[in-house]
Amino acid sequence: MSKKKKITPRVGELRPSQLMFTYGVGAMIDLPKFSVIVSGLDDWPTSPEYSEPIIEDRLLSAVRSKKPLVKKLLSPPVTEASSDPFDSLACIGVPVATFPRWMVCPQCRTLAPISSDIFKIKENPYHPERTAYRHESCNKAKKPPDVYPARFLVSCEKGHLDDFPWDWFVHTGESCGNPQLALYEISPSGEASDLYVKCHGCGKSKRMSEAFGKENREKLPKCRGRHPHLRSYDSEKCGHRMRPLILGATNTWFPAVYSSIAIPVDSGKLRELINNQWLILKDVENPSILTFLRNQGSLGELNEFSNDEIFAEIEKRRSEDAGELPAPSAEPDLLAPEWQSFSNFDPDKNSEDFFLTPVDVPEDYDDVIEKVILVERLREVRALIGFTRLDALGELTDPEFKIQIEPAPISRAHPIWVPATEVRGEGIFIQFKEEEIQAWLEKSAVKKRSEKFLVSHKKWRNARFIKDAEGNYPGMRYVLVHTFAHLLIRQLSLDAGYSASSIRERIYARSDERDEGPMAGILIYTAAPDSEGTLGGLVELGSPERLSLHIAKALENALLCASDPLCSEHLPSNSGRTLHGAACHACAFLSETSCERGNKYLDRATVIPTVLDDDLAFFKVK
């Protein structure tokens, strides 16, 4: 790219996984000198040179059940690093825009939007971390100081985000002929009560503490329905009042992600082999070319299929890449096929991306555990379909709950693709004995605790305006299996060589109301965005002797929490604020990257006796 041409400079780097779980579409990123918001998909480059299609049929069908126009899953745009910031490749990446748009001068305390031209951007292509906005006309500094973002924003329950209404706030909605705003600090505490905004044009001022709190929220203007990541406003009025947020607050953005484990199916081996060799096969125009490749020894395992079978699958793959997909008849079940693959081991289905090895159940727990499977290799695909603000609707990441609340949009038009990543790794699958689960569920103490969880479940959903408050209650089967997974992950992380935040769970817990029958099992796994995946440290812990030791230690640690007796006395909330029983950060909670339901539906009293309850425990003290 010519140096004379205006370019959009690179301002930072992110890993693909961060674009799914931390800094996805609509999320804000703190740079050294200012903050930016990740733009919508309409602005992302999607050229095949930079973004590769990710093939996972089951996940694509699940995404299309929510967003029917989506034709494919694409990886985020990636290019080779270039030392020349003016190279065309240096301008390829995920686009961002400055947000918030209001800045504060640290010297004279001037508060103004960047559209006012009071602050000028100073780009530094060779050192992007030094790019900053400066107050050239500051009268309190010897040289123009770098300004920083005003650290207050407003949002609402529908996912809208906007700059704090500074002008409206200080003037209480009235107009000012000559607004000249400044943000002052009374003390260095940084609290809202020690900050106030003043208009030097009319002399009015107001403390920031007057914007916070439930009562003060009613005094703020109504939400304008703004989506800064899309550079647009909703056509329909929002109706919600603005809610102030602090820049960098953790509740500013929560991803809505679908994920699936790539499993082999009876008709899927050919498909998988073709996907693995797509770089060679994508240019095959007729079956005769396959004969040449076969004679050259380039087909590998594809040799067991005929040329006609291979070419038909190649044509099908081309049609899918072109977006010629049939409309999904119903939302596919992501968990049931995985459960069938894990619980009904078939060595003939082992492949490069899915390799299982059954091992003996630890003798000390063969009365409650049906089987243990070492997942030596697995491939997980994750797709971002939207996001929420203010509240993490964890169920949006799990189609099991089918909550009819639309996450905030990730594009101005209906998306025809969504960003996705694939990771490879390893894990341990544990299946519980169904007869033991059923016997435990029949206990009167378990039924009483289930009633409390159901009340809390309804209150939680009502507080978030979710229709069918009683619907999709996971039940005590899920609470038991979910809590056991958390306790075991915390223990395994001490010896696996991976941090607890890098180990994930996948819970299979259903009654027998569906065709596939009851489920009661867990997949504990870790994965990395690398062709080789992980190093085997987790699988190594699945041997009968070592797994027995870790289960025993996990249960022992759960007997007494550092927060007891308060933790053990905690029951599911009647206010709808929480959805857990005896569980806390000291004993059962995991990081948000590990738990599929945001630390909801947990209760260690269902797993092991606590200081308060000894009649709920599924496991016997050994």
pLDDT 10s digits, 74-83: 988 876 665 6
**C-beta neighbour count of 462 within 10 angstroms:** 12
Strand 72-74 with 417-432, pairing: parallel
Q: pLDDT value at position 585?
A: 93
Last residue of a domain, one of 232, 252, 272: 252
What span, in angstroms and rounded, lies between the C-alpha atoms of 55 and 273? 12
Length of the chain: 622
C-alpha count within 13 angstroms, C-beta hemisphere, residue 603: 29
Residues 279 and 345 both lie in one domain: no
| Residue 40 or 8, more confident | 40
Q: pLDDT digit string (tens) for 570-612? A: 998 888 788 899 999 999 999 878 888 889 999 999 999 998 8
What span, in angstroms and rounded, lies between the C-alpha atoms of 116 and 107? 18
Q: pLDDT value at position 578?
A: 84
Identify whether the C-beta of residue 332 lies closer than 8 Å to the C-beta of residue 397. Answer: no
Residues 46 and 168 both lie in one domain: yes
Range of the domain at 274: 263-321
Tokens of 49: 């040179």
Q: pLDDT digit string (tens) for 430-451? A: 999 999 999 999 999 999 999 9
Residues 360 and 312 both lie in one domain: no
Q: DSSP assignment, residue 323?
A: T
Q: DSSP assignment, residue 241?
A: B
What span, in angstroms and rounded, lies between the C-alpha atoms of 553 and 248? 38
Residue found under tokens 């044509």:
315
What span, in angstroms and rounded, lies between the C-alpha atoms of 587 and 101? 42
What span, in angstroms and rounded, lies between the C-alpha atoms of 411 and 405? 17
Directed axis angle between helix 475-496 and helix 444-463, to 10°?
90
Contacts of residue 587, Cβ cutoff 8 Å, sequence gap at least 6:
487, 557, 558, 561, 562, 563, 567, 604
Identify whether the C-beta of residue 373 lies closer than 8 Å to the C-beta of residue 263. Answer: no
Number of domains in the chain: 3
Identify whether the C-beta of residue 607 lies closer than 8 Å to the C-beta of residue 480. Answer: yes
Identify whether the C-beta of residue 469 lies closer than 8 Å to the C-beta of residue 458. Answer: yes
Q: Tell me the pLDDT band of 85, cut-offs 50, 70 and 90.
A: low
* Residue 484 CB-density burial (10 A; 0-12 exposed, 13-18 middle, 19+ buried): buried
611 domain residue, yes or no? no
Q: pLDDT value at position 3?
A: 42
Residues 529 and 433 both lie in one domain: yes
Q: pLDDT value at position 119?
A: 92
Tokens of 163: 């700059």
Would you say residue 1 has pLDDT above 50? no
619 domain residue, yes or no? no
Q: Tell me the pLDDT band of 411, cut-offs 50, 70 and 90.
A: very high
Residues 573 and 602 both lie in one domain: yes
Would you say residue 461 has pLDDT above 90? no
Residues 247 and 271 both lie in one domain: no
75 domain residue, yes or no? no
What span, in angstroms and rounded, lies between the C-alpha atoms of 129 and 131? 6
Report the amino acid identity of residue 451.
E
Q: pLDDT value at position 4?
A: 41
Q: pLDDT digit string (tens) for 215-253? A: 878 888 889 999 999 999 988 888 788 889 988 888 888
Would you say residue 506 has pLDDT above 90? yes
Would you say residue 498 has pLDDT above 60? yes
Q: pLDDT value at position 102?
A: 94
Closest CA to 244 of 270, 274, 208: 208
Residues 128 and 237 both lie in one domain: yes
What span, in angstroms and rounded, lies between the C-alpha atoms of 310 and 314? 6
Would you say residue 504 has pLDDT above 50? yes
Positive or negative, the CA dihedral 563, 569, 572, 574 is negative
Residues 111 and 32 both lie in one domain: yes
Q: In the predicted model, what is the mean pLDDT of residues 159-179?
A: 88
Residue found under tokens 């040179």:
49
Contacts of residue 167, Cβ cutoff 8 Å, sequence gap at least 6:
176, 179, 181
Rounded CA Rg of the chain: 27
What span, in angstroms and rounded, lies between the C-alpha atoms of 200 and 110? 10
Report the amino acid identity of residue 453.
F
Q: pLDDT digit string (tens) for 474-487? A: 999 999 999 999 99
Q: Tell me the pLDDT band of 310, cut-offs 50, 70 and 90.
A: confident
200 domain residue, yes or no? yes
* Residue 220 CB-density burial (10 A; 0-12 exposed, 13-18 middle, 19+ buried): buried
Identify whether the C-beta of residue 572 lies closer than 8 Å to the C-beta of residue 601. Answer: no
Q: Tell me the pLDDT band of 312, cut-offs 50, 70 and 90.
A: confident
27 domain residue, yes or no? yes
95 domain residue, yes or no? yes
Last residue of a domain, one of 229, 252, 275: 252
Would you say residue 396 has pLDDT above 50? no
Q: Which of 128-142, 336-350, 423-437 has the highest average model confidence (pLDDT)?
A: 423-437
What span, in angstroms and rounded, lies between the C-alpha atoms of 427 and 504? 9
Identify whether the C-beta of residue 384 lies closer than 8 Å to the C-beta of residue 20. Answer: yes
3 domain residue, yes or no? no
Residues 197 and 339 both lie in one domain: no
Last residue of a domain, one of 321, 346, 364: 321
Residues 239 and 270 both lie in one domain: no
- In Å, how far from its chain's centre is CA 416? 20
Identify whether the C-beta of residue 387 lies closer than 8 Å to the C-beta of residue 407. Answer: yes
8 domain residue, yes or no? no
What span, in angstroms and rounded, lies between the C-alpha atoms of 38 and 51? 17
Closest CA to 459 of 581, 572, 604: 572
Q: pLDDT value at position 213?
A: 82
Percentage above 70 pLDDT, the chain: 88
Residues 343 and 488 both lie in one domain: yes
Residues 46 and 184 both lie in one domain: yes
Would you say residue 287 has pLDDT above 50? yes
Would you say residue 6 has pLDDT above 50? no
